[in-house]
């Protein structure tokens, strides 16, 4: 089952059928057993016919979006390379090997683009990339209850200049995208889950790459455990789990590029660069 937001209402989808819900996303995330609640609605309700013109919003309410870094070896290598002139190579290698993960605040809802929306590159950045990531939906009790697709837009030159500039490289308006919906399931995503990204420029593929969750060094549950240490989230949270797909060093996003991120079982998140 998947949860969607559209025009200030929530919908649950199963097997191509949509069912309107009478609770907000915030209220649904707070439930003791969201999966069972949605299953009971699907079993008893009549599917809702949707207009073909219906568009989906970012599936976020009052949740904070956080992110984990250096969780894939490819990400470790890229960040070592981008920061070598600032002496950051050993820094990122130590983060990759440490017990404690790198976690940072990414966005609130007004900074998040939805499916079909526009993401941005910083006006003072010269080297910007999208980072395709599995996003965890975590309830207020620290339980992973769903999964969606995240795009962690990043200014590699700014962070590479000094690791302490990471908040400026990562956090700004429309620096994040989520969607198209949230896969609600009781078990984890399988390690074989494929993540793919394609970047189109003037309609032609400029870059494409793929990875699987098997390449992640850290377990999602461990990332959540660290995030929720001495930290409360009354509306729950989203946690981006890092990227294993990094374009080559001579690539940077341009206005008008289209970013397509697909994760098996969830769908495809498409955004244009403003």
> What percentage of the chain reaches a pLDDT higher than 70?
92
pLDDT for 76 equals: 60
Mean pLDDT of the chain: 92
Look at residues 115, 130, 157 and name the one whose alpha carbon lies nearest to residue 253. Answer: 130
Residue 153 reports pLDDT greater than 70: yes
Strand 176-184 and strand 112-113: pairing? parallel
> The tokens 């999966």 sit on which residue?
35
pLDDT for 88 equals: 56
Q: What are the structural domain ranges in the chain?
A: 2-44, 64-273
Say whether the peptide bond before residue 264 is cis (omega within 30 degrees of 0). no
Give the lowest-confidence range in 30-44, 70-84, 153-167. 70-84
Look at residues 75, 78, 76 and name the one whose alpha carbon lies nearest to residue 93. Answer: 76
> What percentage of the chain reaches a pLDDT higher than 90?
79
* 260 band by pLDDT with thresholds 50, 70 and 90: very high
Instruction: Kindly report whether the global pTM for this prediction surpasses the value 0.85.
Output: yes
Find the mean pLDDT for residues 79-104: 73
164-173: list long-range contacts, CB under 8 Å, 24+ apart. 166/69, 166/104, 167/104, 167/105, 168/122, 169/122, 169/125, 170/67, 170/104, 170/106, 171/104, 171/105, 171/106, 171/107, 171/111, 172/111, 172/120, 172/122, 173/110, 173/111, 173/120
Contacts of 126 (CB under 8 A, 6+ apart): 157, 252
pLDDT for 117 equals: 98
Find the mean pLDDT for residues 57-85: 80
CA distance 162 to 244: 22
Indicate the CATH number for domain 64-273: 3.90.850.10
Higher pLDDT, 8 or 170: 170
Q: Which two tokens stand for residue 234?
A: 């009354």
CA distance 139 to 11: 18
> Rounded to whole angstroms, what are the CA distances from 80 to 74, 92, 112, 139?
10, 6, 28, 34
pLDDT for 241 equals: 97
CA 200 to chain centre: 20
pLDDT for 121 equals: 97
What number of residues does the chain have? Answer: 274
pLDDT for 82 equals: 59
Taking only the tens place, the pLDDT of each residue in 33-55 is 999 999 999 999 888 777 666 78
Residue 86 reports pLDDT greater than 60: no
Residue 80 reports pLDDT greater than 70: no
Find the mean pLDDT for residues 140-155: 98
Taking only the tens place, the pLDDT of each residue in 169-193 is 999 999 999 999 999 999 999 999 9
Find the mean pLDDT for residues 155-165: 91
pLDDT for 77 equals: 63
Q: Which two tokens stand for residue 201?
A: 């420029």
SS3 state of residue 142: coil
> The tokens 């001495």 sit on which residue?
230
Taking only the tens place, the pLDDT of each residue in 230-240 is 999 999 999 99
* 229 band by pLDDT with thresholds 50, 70 and 90: very high
Find the mean pLDDT for residues 72-88: 62
């Amino acid at each position: 089952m998947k949860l969607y937001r559209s025009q200030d209402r929530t919908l649950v989808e199963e097997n191509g059928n949509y069912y309107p819900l009478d609770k907000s996303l915030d209220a649904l995330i707070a439930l003791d057993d969201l999966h069972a609640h949605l299953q009971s609605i699907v079993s008893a309700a009549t599917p809702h016919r949707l207009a073909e013109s219906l568009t989906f919003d970012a599936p976020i309410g009052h949740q904070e979006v956080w992110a984990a870094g250096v969780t894939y070896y490819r990400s470790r290598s890229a960040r070592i390379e981008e920061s070598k002139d600032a002496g950051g190579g050993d820094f990122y290698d130590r983060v990759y090997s440490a017990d404690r993960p790198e976690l940072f605040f990414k966005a609130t809802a007004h900074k998040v683009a939805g499916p079909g929306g526009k993401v941005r590159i910083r006006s003072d950045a010269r080297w910007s990339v999208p980072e395709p990531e599995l996003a965890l939906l975590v309830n207020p009790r620290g339980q992973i209850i769903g999964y969606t697709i995240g795009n962690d837009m990043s200014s590699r030159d700014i962070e590479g200049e000094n690791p302490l500039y990471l908040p400026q490289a990562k956090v700004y308006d429309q620096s994040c995208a989520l969607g198209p919906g949230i896969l609600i399931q009781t078990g984890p995503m399988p390690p074989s889950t494929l993540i793919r990204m394609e970047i189109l420029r003037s309609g032609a593929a400029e870059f494409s790459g793929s990875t699987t969750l098997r390449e992640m060094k850290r377990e999602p549950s461990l990332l959540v455990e660290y995030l929720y240490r001495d930290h409360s989230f009354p509306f729950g949270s989203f946690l981006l789990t890092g990227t294993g797909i990094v374009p080559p060093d001579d690539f940077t996003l341009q206005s008008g590029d289209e970013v397509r991120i697909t994760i098996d079982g969830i769908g495809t998140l498409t955004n244009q660069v403003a």
